[in-house]
Structure 1
Amino acid sequence: MNALCTALPEQLRLLLVDDHRIFLDGLSLALAPLCPDLHISTAHNAATAEACLRQTAFDLILLDLNLPDMPGLDLLQRWQQQGHLTPVAILSASDSPLDAQAALHAGALGFIPKSADGDALRAAVTRVLLGEVLPGPAAARLPLTPRQQQILRLLAEGLPNKLISRELSLSEDTIKTHLKTLYQELDVHTRTACVQVARQRGWL
């Protein structure tokens, strides 16, 4: 434990954002040995987290993916757009490589599973505080064929089916078949939603 503490400042301010109060209590206890003067603030929803940010400068935010008033990734993206410079790591019950990929794509510096034990949690938080980017769970191959990935990228550029078919030398019917598969994979019904969800998952 001492090896971790010597690498960090003696004083740190962390913001923990999660709607499970018992989990927050346990997390605070697990993080207590990080440094001699550790100040931990907690928020149970996005609104409270934003209020905390307006009042205090934090060294790191640990953010849950699922909040009652806003998805964690949406909140993270809003902070990015507002120019907040506080590092953010996602702390989630999910161990999905796709969720980790989406979190890093949205600007998180790390993806830490809630299943991590105390030592692993402190080590991960220390690495993020020292400026490292944690890769999260091993990246899985996208559940798309190379052709579907090409079509998805062209779709994101706003090309209609006719131009996509011309670009890839495929018939429009073939493009429609691939799009149908993409819609089913992403559980969407429109081109706009397809692109939006693909971006949220870090596929674009």
Structure 2
Amino acid sequence: MTALCNALPEQLSLLLVDDHRIFLDGLSLALAPLCADLQIETAESAAAAQACLQQQDFDLILLDLRLPDMPGLELLQRWQQQGCLTPVAILSASDSTLDAQAALNAGALGFIPKSSNSDELRQAVTRVLLGETLPAPESGEPNPLTPRQMEILRLLAEGLPNKSIGRQLGVSEDTIKTHLKTLFQALDVHTRTACVSVARQRGLL
């Protein structure tokens, strides 16, 4: 670990994005030994993170998957669309290999579990700062969606409105709305477009 840390520059600037203040404080302490002059900014929402990025440049962003105003993957995708070149690693309480793969597919350079101890955390952050992409764990998880939800998802990906989806499946439009609500919750999204996008990232489409 010492050798890896010595390979880092003496001055680094990190942005930590998480909605739990106490976790941000602990994370800042855990990362303090990374280099002699470590500048850490914190943001507790997607909006605050966006504001920080507009004010200064960072060497790395550590981003939580679940923020109060926007899912982390949607925020990451927005940054990608804006041409943001700052490396991003996801730091999440989720231990889902599907979430990890979705994060990498969305452009993250790594997926670091919050269950990591301080040494593991610094090791992972150092590897990303040195330009390495952390591989996702092997997936052994079953598909989290039911067969009916998969049918709706595929029709959603074709751009069909709720009424047309219901007609094809022989159910009411209200039933489709109920299934969509469950789909959005399962994939942690808020829009039809994001639902299809995240499903593709997870290999469900």
Aligned twin of 1:36: 36
Q: Please give the alpha-carbon distance, in whole angstroms, between the structure 2 residues aligned to 1:24 and 1:188.
A: 30
Using the aligned pairs only, state the percent identity.
Answer: 70
Q: 1:201 to 1:11 in 2, by over 3 A?
A: same
Aligned twin of 1:180: none
Aligned twin of 2:27: 27
- 5 Å-filtered alignment, 1:28-107, equals 28-107=28-107
- 5 Å-filtered alignment, 1:1-204, equals 1-140=1-140, 143=143, 158=158, 187-188=182-183, 195-204=196-205
Q: Which amino acid counterpart does residue 37 of structure 1 have in structure 2?
A: D
Indicate if the aligned counterparts of 1:65 and 1:72 stay in contact, CA closer than 8 A.
Answer: yes
Q: Please give the alpha-carbon distance, in whole angstroms, between the structure 2 residues aligned to 1:83 and 1:29.
A: 31
Shift of 1:188: 3.7
Look at both structures and tell me which one has the larger radius of gyration over its CA atoms. Answer: 1
Q: Which amino acid counterpart does residue 82 of structure 2 have in structure 1?
A: Q
> Deviating runs (4+, > 4 A) in structure 1?
151-157
Shift of 1:3: 1.3
Q: Please give the alpha-carbon distance, in whole angstroms, between the structure 1 residues aligned to 2:128 and 2:71.
A: 22
Q: 1:152 to 1:126 in 2, by over 3 A?
A: farther
Q: 1:152 to 1:105 in 2, by over 3 A?
A: farther
Could you say what secondary structure the match of 2:25 adopts?
Answer: helix
Unaligned segments of structure 2, at least 5 residues: 145-150, 161-167, 170-178, 185-191
Q: Which amino acid counterpart does residue 199 of structure 1 have in structure 2?
A: R
Cα RMSD of the aligned pairs, angstroms, is 3.2
Could you say what secondary structure the match of 1:128 adopts?
Answer: helix
Shift of 1:157: 7.5
Shift of 1:2: 2.4
Unaligned segments of structure 1, at least 5 residues: 145-150, 161-174, 177-183
Q: Which amino acid counterpart does residue 200 of structure 2 have in structure 1?
A: R
TM score, norm. by length of structure 1: 0.76
Q: Please give the alpha-carbon distance, in whole angstroms, between the structure 2 residues aligned to 1:22 and 1:79.
A: 26
Could you say what secondary structure the match of 1:108 adopts?
Answer: coil
Could you say what secondary structure the match of 1:124 adopts?
Answer: helix
TM score, norm. by length of structure 2: 0.75
1:99-142 CA-to-partner distances (Å, cap 9, x unmatched) read 10111111110000000000000000011111111123322355
Q: 1:202 to 1:65 in 2, by over 3 A?
A: farther
Q: Please give the alpha-carbon distance, in whole angstroms, between the structure 2 residues aligned to 1:153 and 1:30.
A: 41
Q: Please give the alpha-carbon distance, in whole angstroms, between the structure 2 residues aligned to 1:116 and 1:38.
A: 21
Shift of 1:15: 0.2
Could you say what secondary structure the match of 1:102 adopts?
Answer: helix
